[in-house]
Amino acid sequence: MDAMEKSLLLFKDADLEKDGGAIAEKGDTAPPKLPVSYVTAGNRKVPVLKTLLTSACERDCAYCPFRAGRDGRRITFKPEEFATFADEMHRHRIVEGVFLSSGIAGGSIATQDRLLTTATLLRKKHEFKGYLHLKLMPGAEKDQILQAMTLADRVSVNLEAPGESYLHRLAPHKQFWDELLRTLQTAEEIRRNVDPRDYGRSRWPSITTQFVIGAAGEKDRDLLLWSEKLLKDLRLSRVYFSPFRPIPKTPLADLPAEAPERAVRLYRAFFLLRDYGFSADELPLTPNGQLPSGDPKELWAKLHLAESPVEVNTASREELLRIPGIGPKRAAILMAARRQSRLSDVQQLRSLGMPVDKMSPYILLDGKSPVRQLRLFT
């Protein structure tokens, strides 16, 4: 079996590993033509080779196709074999980066060493200059984490669940505090306390994590409180929410798949926490701790701004960001425009590219509510 065949077979299930991979179209069971996924790097989508170093794994995570004891062929790359293949994919401009993880075989420390060997060959021997996302294994040692951070543009550890009790339902032999969270904490401690210039870098890589949603009975409240904590304490760049999909011959095979719409709501809420100044306890939730259908920002505005609209001419940046349709870029445009002249009618907003219909119920222009075209049908 050559490297392309191996990578295609691994990629077919690799999006179950979940951190930022593409989601196959509903009903699409055909194998991909190329083992390429897309991740956000900077402000654009980057095609990456996303695969595992090996699908052999000694852990028994209840949702995973690679869990120990499940029938199926196991596929393994040798470090040099993978590094050569990834470099060829990059040189032929098929991919701009690599997302590399692995099943755990021979313990987390030995597995992390193989990942580091592969990444070192890619960077040093093949002089790979593209994007590299490197997984940190549960319980990786500090020196291994530091080495990973000298090689990668992004590192990540999958927490998988918002707390020990939920994790036990998904991965009974993983330790939430000592293996998973502690590894994330060590990466952040390095970013805070070690000068990247001492290792030939201008900055340290970003850090992300992932939650599997819909298999452990977790509430959106739990996920959002943990997301807020990770943003504040560990400065994570992103939290991914991956809808559970049942895999045959696993303990959770009979559970229903989680609706993708739940992940969409969680992402919208997460961006409110990360980019818009919201706190988790401000987000609208149902009595049982779930996000209701709809855009959480607009639901919040209906509760808080409909009767107390924001004066666009005097509002702070933080207040502007609470208005539906206004993000950081549009807030900056509004603040620059009102320094030139007072904003008093919706035509001025339209000329600035503002979504007037979305904003109008929640704003004042020079002390007056904008004239809005009422809907004929609801």
DSSP letter for each residue of 32-69: PSS-EEEEEETTEEEEEEEEESBS--S---TT-TT-TT
The band of 54, judged by pLDDT with boundaries at 50, 70 and 90, is very high
Quick one: pLDDT at residue 372? Answer: 61
Quick one: pLDDT at residue 6? Answer: 87
Q: Does the pLDDT of residue 16 top 50, yes or no?
A: no
Can you tell me the distance from the alpha carbon of 4 to that of 7, in angstroms, rounded to the nearest whole number? 5
Domain ranges of the chain: 3-203, 308-364
CATH of 3-203, one of 3.40.50.170, 3.20.20.70, 1.10.760.10, 3.50.30.60: 3.20.20.70
Is residue 283 within 8 Å of residue 269, measured between CB atoms?
Answer: yes
The band of 261, judged by pLDDT with boundaries at 50, 70 and 90, is very high
Percent of the chain, pLDDT > 70? 92
Quick one: pLDDT at residue 114? Answer: 98
Mean pLDDT of 144-155: 98
Q: How many CB atoms lie within 10 A of CB 185?
A: 14
Q: What is the pTM of this model?
A: 0.90
Summarised one tens digit per residue, pLDDT across range 203-240 is 999 999 999 999 999 999 999 999 999 999 999 999 99
Q: Tell me the H-state helices in the chain.
A: 3-14, 79-91, 108-120, 142-151, 164-170, 182-193, 220-234, 260-275, 296-304, 317-320, 328-340, 346-351, 356-359
Mean pLDDT of 310-332: 97
User: Tell me, what DSSP letter sits at residue 370?
Assistant: P
The CATH code of domain 308-364 reads 1.10.150
Q: Does the pLDDT of residue 177 top 60, yes or no?
A: yes
Q: Does the pLDDT of residue 12 top 60, yes or no?
A: yes
User: Tell me, what DSSP letter sits at residue 236?
Assistant: -
The band of 14, judged by pLDDT with boundaries at 50, 70 and 90, is low
Summarised one tens digit per residue, pLDDT across range 99-113 is 999 999 999 999 999
Q: Does the pLDDT of residue 298 top 80, yes or no?
A: yes
Mean pLDDT of 36-56: 86
Can you tell me the distance from the alpha carbon of 366 to that of 244, in angstroms, rounded to the nearest whole number? 49
Summarised one tens digit per residue, pLDDT across range 110-125 is 999 999 999 999 999 9
The reply to whether 308-364 shares the fold of 3-203 is: no
The band of 304, judged by pLDDT with boundaries at 50, 70 and 90, is very high
The band of 49, judged by pLDDT with boundaries at 50, 70 and 90, is very high
The band of 1, judged by pLDDT with boundaries at 50, 70 and 90, is confident
Q: Does the pLDDT of residue 33 top 80, yes or no?
A: no
